[in-house]
Chains A and B, each alone.
Chain A
Amino acid sequence: MKIGIPRALLYYRYHTLWETFFEELGVETVISPPTNKGILDSGSIYAIDESCLPMKIFLGHVEWLIGRCDMILLPRIASLGRQGSACMRYQAAYDVARNAFRGRQIKLLDYNVDLRKNGGQIETFLSLGRAVGKKRAQSLHAYLAARQADKAVGTAELLHQQDLLRGDRCRILVVGHPYNVYDPYVGGPVLDCLRALNTVPIIADIVDRREALERSANISSTLPWAFNRQLVGAIDIYRRYVDGIVLMSTFPCGPDSLVNEIVVRRVRELPVLNLLIDGQEGSAGLETRLESFVDIIHFKREEDITLA
């Protein structure tokens, strides 16, 4: 049996967990390739026009997997309990894919996280194990191994990022959902461009998540979405170490439409760039915007130095 995993949406947050889990169980997986124009184009055919870019990309990845595996892992997240709720889109993704590809004979593998209704993440993995015909004890063991691996990766990333906070190069905090920041087709050009402009991108997603959740209240106290809370908390954690903030969103994003506005209005000491990516714009427009943003930062840094 081969499980297909769409390299999109929640993949970028949970891939170590998923991949290790299946590996431990000896279940073969196939992961769709990094997003390219073909994937986006095919996703756009199946998605409602008004959907956000990540949803279009997601459907493109699911489409790519059809015929290349026996089952497709389709994550759905409705609630992360006390950490907060999820964007409605993660809540709907399973059924959207099911309806969009009706008639294409795909078998979907449920991965449903709803902490208001089910137990914790562990329950979700146990039922995932059940669905691929594994015993409870096996799944449990695989889950624990996956947790360990995920933690190790997280720690390594965090250590690496902490290194980047030293020295006096110009640092820019990039705030965005992991599936935007890490997708080579979406956030990739932004990170490349920032590096080419001789700045160091700091990724808000790489952060001590627990601390970030708590500190988000310093900026916003009623934020409902867990992932946005983490990003906002990361701003509070990193704001002293960076020279500017890029808010990277895709169009039209429900949560970000409100959260970015709060950030712009409340984080006043740093230049903030609201970068809306629609997947259409050529790289020229992007480069110009980032260039002038970095110019502003340099200008401000020089001013600060003169004042000091």
Chain B
Amino acid sequence: MPETKVSFPHLGSYCVPIEYLFTRGVGVDYVTPPPITRRTLEIGSRYSPDTVCAPFKYNLGNYIETIEAGANTLVQTGGVCRLGYYGELHEQILRDLGYKVRFVNMARASYSNPASFYSEFLSINPDLSLKRVAAVLTLVLKMVEHIDAFESYMRNNVGFECEEGSFDRLHQDFLASLSAVESHKELSAISKLYMRRLKELPINRPKNPLRVGIIGEYYTIMEPFSNHFMEKSLARMGIAVDRWINISNTLLHNPSKKVITHIKDYAKYDMGATAMFSIDKALEFAKKHYDGIIHVKSFGCTPEIDAMTVLQNISNDYKIPILYFSFDSQTSETGIQTRLEAFYDMIVMRKEDRK
């Protein structure tokens, strides 16, 4: 049997910890999917059903491109909403296209039976050491938290950098240095170092900048290509951007129980996937007098469409503008920029008026 070369679809910067988990923990080679481009989305869409949500198409594009780059074992996680069924169809489509790869679908494992996950991992590497996976996994989760912390600060300040590109460069260096860490100690030292350097980067931040909060569906909010680099565009307009959705906040420290009490004036039940979080954070941004909120999702995203009915009420009650974006494979770049600029003009004017 040829040597195992695993790959997993892109999601923002998380390809770094994922690669770490597979190479160091599971003990197999890892192929990072080539960076997402128009082509990724094009081939992903070509072989996907038309009406499926965009993350499915991006993932499929990643799979095909990473097979071309040498991967022979593909992993899909499973999860809530349609994600729980992505894997079986991805595998079927790849088979029908004639790709001879191993497809590890975690949706086959069940959450009520953690051992079933172990057996899915065993299918990737039969010599797997449970102890090592567990050890590496805790390190990887910490790594995720450090990345999230770095990016949160960056998102909020990059719009004011004195030297163009200084944040991005440091971010790239930080991610690159993470793959070399050997221990928790090193991880925390490296992260601290980069966090300090990040905070030392010269910025020219006004006392009272425009503040915009981003909310929305999991994938679209976290994968910059899929939201047309929305955060970058906002930064270029000199806006301090905040978003709460990332892996640390949702998966590692899931606050669902608390959230449902925060939002009880607007929703009685969990409306599915990220809907509750979108409502909760919209409410928080509104109460903190942010200048505006941007809601992003892939076209047809069921739970976020349902959240929108609630968001409209929040927008009315707190008089906070919310701009809604729904992305599919056809979305035009100019359309987005035009709407963003109009939104920008509006929040600037509102801020002036309030003075």
Contacts and interface: CB of A to CB of B under 8 A. Distances in A.
B303 interface: yes
B203 to A, nearest CB: 38
A16 interface: no
A87 B302 contact: yes
Interface size of B as a range: 35 or more
Nearest to B95: A265
Interface in B233-278: 266-273, 275
A260 interface: yes
A209 interface: no
Interface in A75-97: 76, 78, 85, 87-89, 91-92, 94-96
A221 B105 CA distance: 11
Q: Which of A89, A96, A112, A253 has the most CB of B within 10 A?
A: A96
A224 interface: yes
B302 A254 contact: yes
Interface stretch (B133-141, B172-180, B306-314): B306-314
Contact of B272 (A48, A91, A225): A91
Contact of B96 (A76, A253, A265): A265
Contact of A258 (B49, B269, B273): B49
Contact of B300 (A224, A252, A261): A252
B49 A257 contact: yes
Closest 6 CB pairs of A and B: A88-B272, A92-B306, A92-B271, A252-B300, A254-B302, A95-B267
Nearest to B268: A95
Interface in B87-117: 87-89, 92-93, 96, 105, 107-108
B40 to A, nearest CB: 20
B270 to A, nearest CB: 7
B150 interface: no
B53 to A, nearest CB: 7
B84 interface: yes
B88 A102 contact: no
B271 A265 contact: no
Contacts of A259: 85
24 contacts: A50-B300, A50-B326, A78-B270, A78-B272, A85-B84, A87-B302, A89-B306, A98-B267, A222-B87, A222-B105, A252-B299, A254-B81, A254-B300, A255-B82, A257-B49, A258-B52, A258-B85, A258-B86, A260-B49, A261-B52, A261-B89, A261-B93, A262-B92, A265-B96
Contacts of B266: 95, 99
A289 B264 CA distance: 47
A10 interface: no
A221 B108 contact: yes
Interface in B21-80: 49, 51-53, 56, 78
Contact of A88 (B299, B303, B326): B303
Contact of B271 (A91, A100, A102, A224): A91
Given A48-B309, A51-B305, A88 B269 contact: no
A258 B46 CA distance: 15
A107 interface: no
Given A50-B305, A252-B51, A254-B81, A95 B269 contact: yes
Contact of A254 (B53, B89, B309): B53
B313 A99 contact: yes
B81 A88 contact: yes
Contacts of B89: 258, 261-262
Contacts of B299: 50, 252
A105 to B, nearest CB: 15
A220 interface: yes
B268 A92 contact: no
A107 to B, nearest CB: 14
B51 A92 contact: no
A273 interface: no
A96 B87 CA distance: 30
B272 A92 contact: yes
A221 B103 CA distance: 14
Contacts of A296: none
A117 B62 CA distance: 37
A221 B308 CA distance: 33
Given A50-B300, A222-B78, A265-B92, A98 B51 contact: no
A50 B273 CA distance: 17
A153 interface: no
A241 interface: no
Q: Which of A52, A91, A100 has the most CB of B within 10 A?
A: A91
B72 to A, nearest CB: 22
A222 B51 contact: no
A301 interface: no
Q: Which of A47, A102, A266 has the most CB of B within 10 A?
A: A102
Interface in B292-323: 299-300, 302-303, 305-310, 312-313
Contact of B306 (A78, A88, A253): A88
Interface string A176-190: 000000000000000
A224 B268 contact: no
A133 B105 CA distance: 49
A255 to B, nearest CB: 7
B306 A261 contact: no
Contacts of B92: 262, 265-266
Interface string A107-121: 000001000000000
B87 A91 contact: no
Contacts of A156: none
A260 B82 CA distance: 13
Interface string A225-251: 100000000000000000000000001
